[in-house]
Amino acid sequence: MSQNSKSPIQYRALLSKSMAFESQSHKKDYSPEVSGAGVFDDVYAIPMLPKQQLEIDSNAKPHFNFQLPDPRLAIKDFFRTREVAEFVSGAMAGAMTKAVLAPLETIRTRMVVGVGSKDIAGSFIEVIEQQGWQGLWTGNAINMVRIIPTQAIELGTFECVKRAMTSSQERWSKTEKPSIHFGPVNLQFSLSWISPVAVAGAAAGVVSTLACHPLEVLKDRLTVSPEVYPNLSVAVNKIYRDGGLGAFYAGISPTLVGMLPYSTSYYFMYETMKKTYCLKKKKNSLNRIEMLLVGALSGFTASTISFPLEVARKRLMVGALQGKCPPNMAAAISEVIREEGLKGLYRGWGASCLKVMPSSGITWMFYEAWKDMLLVNRNHL
C-alpha cells in the first residue's frame, strides 16, 4: 500500500471528524434563536423554531389593541390657537358693544335713510311716542345676531392678514427683489411701500361684508319698516318670497364700495395713532381709557371720510321700500344733492358720529381686554 493511500479505518475516522465539525458548525449558525432564513457562503438553510414556539392555543380569543384618538385634545388644541382667540375676542367685543349702543344705532339708521325727524332729539321722541321705549331696541335681536359674526370675522381677518403681510414684507426684504429690464432701465418690485395695516383693514371690511350682508339687509328692514316686517321670521319669508336669495344681497356693490374707504381708514388710523402715542409716551401698550379714546377718534375719522358713501348705500338698500330705488351709487349721490344739496350727503352725520365714536372706542377696549385674557399668560399654538 502506498504512503498516500489510507486504510478504511483511517477514512472512517476522517469522515467522523468531518461530520462532527459540520454538526458543531450548524449548531452555531442555525440555532433556534435565528428568526429568518440564513445564507452562509454556499450553504442555504431555513432555521426551525422550537416545537413549543409553534403551538397555538385554539381557545384564545383574538385581541386587537386599537385606540381612537381623543377628540377632546384636538378641540382643546384648536381653541388654544391665536386665530380662534382673536375671533372669539371680536365676537364678544361686538356683542357687548351693541348691547349698550342699540338705541343710537336705531336713531342713526332712521336719520340716514330719511325716516321721521331730521334731528337726534326729535327722532328719540318720535320713536318713543310711536313704539315706546322698547322701540329704541327695534331690530336689536337681528343686530346682535349680525354683529357677533361680523365683528368676529372682521377683527379676526384683520389680525391674520396683518401678520401675513408683515411676514411677507420681512421675507421679501431678505431676498433678491424681482425686477424687469427694459434695456438700460431696471424696474424692481418692492412691498415696502404697502401698509400691512391698510391692506388688512380693507380685507377685513370686504370679507365681513360678503359673509354678513344678508343680516344687514334684515336689520335695516326691521328698523325702517316694523309694520311691514314685525319680526325676524316674517322678514326672512317676505324678502325671500319677493326677491329670492338675491334680495338678501341687495346693494352689495355699493356696500363694498362704501366699506373699503371706511374699513381701510378705520384700522389704519387706530394702529397709527396707537403706535405714535406709545412711542411718544415710551409705553409698550395703551391702558383701557387710552384705547377707548384712540378707538373713538379712529371711528370719527373713518366715518367722516366715508359718510357720503354710507348715505348713498343706505338709500339704495331701502329705496325699494319707498318706491324709488336709484340704479347705482352715483345716481343715489346725485339724487341726494339734487333734493337736499351738498349738506344732504352729511345728513345724519352727527347721529352717526354719536354712535360710531363710542362704538369704536368700546369695541377696541373690549377687544383688547378679551385678547389679553385669552392670549396673555396662556400658551397658544
8 Å CB contact between 333 and 76: no
What whole-number distance in Å separates Cα of residue 103 and Cα of residue 337?
A: 28
User: Is 8 contained in some domain?
Assistant: no
What whole-number distance in Å separates Cα of residue 90 and Cα of residue 153?
A: 8
Q: Which residues constitute the domain of residue 314? A: 251-347
pLDDT at 151: 93
256-259 LR contacts (CB < 8 Å, sep 24+): 256/206, 256/209, 256/210, 257/309, 257/313, 257/329, 258/306, 258/309, 258/310, 258/312, 258/313, 258/329, 259/205, 259/206, 259/209
Q: Count of H helices and E strands in the chain?
A: 11, 4
pLDDT at 196: 92
Three-class SS state of 379: coil
**H/E segment holding residue 39:** strand 38-40
Give strand ranges (E) for 164-291: 179-182, 185-188
What whole-number distance in Å separates Cα of residue 256 and Cα of residue 202?
A: 10
What whole-number distance in Å separates Cα of residue 320 and Cα of residue 1?
A: 133
Three-class SS state of 38: strand
For the record, the C-alpha cell of 8 comes out as 478504511
Upper half-sphere CA count for residue 88 (Cβ side, 13 Å): 15
Q: Cα dihedral sign for 311, 314, 320, 325?
A: positive
8 Å CB contact between 85 and 371: yes
State the DSSP string of 117-168: -SSHHHHHHHHHHHH-GGGGGTTHHHHHHHHHHHHHHHHHHHHHHHHHHHHH
What whole-number distance in Å separates Cα of residue 239 and Cα of residue 217?
A: 9
User: Is 334 contained in some domain?
Assistant: yes
What whole-number distance in Å separates Cα of residue 364 and Cα of residue 302?
A: 15
8 Å CB contact between 176 and 237: no
Three-class SS state of 180: strand
8 Å CB contact between 221 and 229: yes
pLDDT at 54: 47
Give me the residues paired with residue 187 across strands: 180
User: Is 124 contained in some domain?
Assistant: no
What whole-number distance in Å separates Cα of residue 101 and Cα of residue 144?
A: 11
In angstroms, the Cα distances linking 365 to 78, 89, 133, 359 are 25, 11, 28, 10
Instruction: Quote the pTM value.
Output: 0.67
Residue-wise pLDDT tens for the chain (381 aa)?
Answer: 444 444 555 555 555 555 554 555 444 444 444 444 444 444 444 455 454 444 555 565 566 566 666 777 777 777 678 889 899 999 999 988 887 888 877 787 777 666 777 777 888 888 888 888 878 877 677 678 888 999 999 999 999 999 999 988 888 777 766 667 666 777 766 667 788 999 999 999 999 999 988 888 887 787 777 788 888 888 889 998 988 888 888 778 877 888 899 999 999 999 999 999 999 998 888 999 999 999 999 999 999 998 888 888 777 766 655 666 666 778 888 888 888 888 888 888 887 787 789 989 999 999 999 998 888 755 555
Ramachandran angles phi, psi of 234, nearest 5°: -65, -40
DSSP state of 281: H
User: Which position has the grid cell 384700522?
Assistant: 267
User: Is 274 contained in some domain?
Assistant: yes
What is the number of structural domains in the chain?
1
Residue 128 CB: number of other CB atoms within 10 A? 14
User: Is 342 contained in some domain?
Assistant: yes
Amino acid at 80: R
User: Is 81 contained in some domain?
Assistant: no
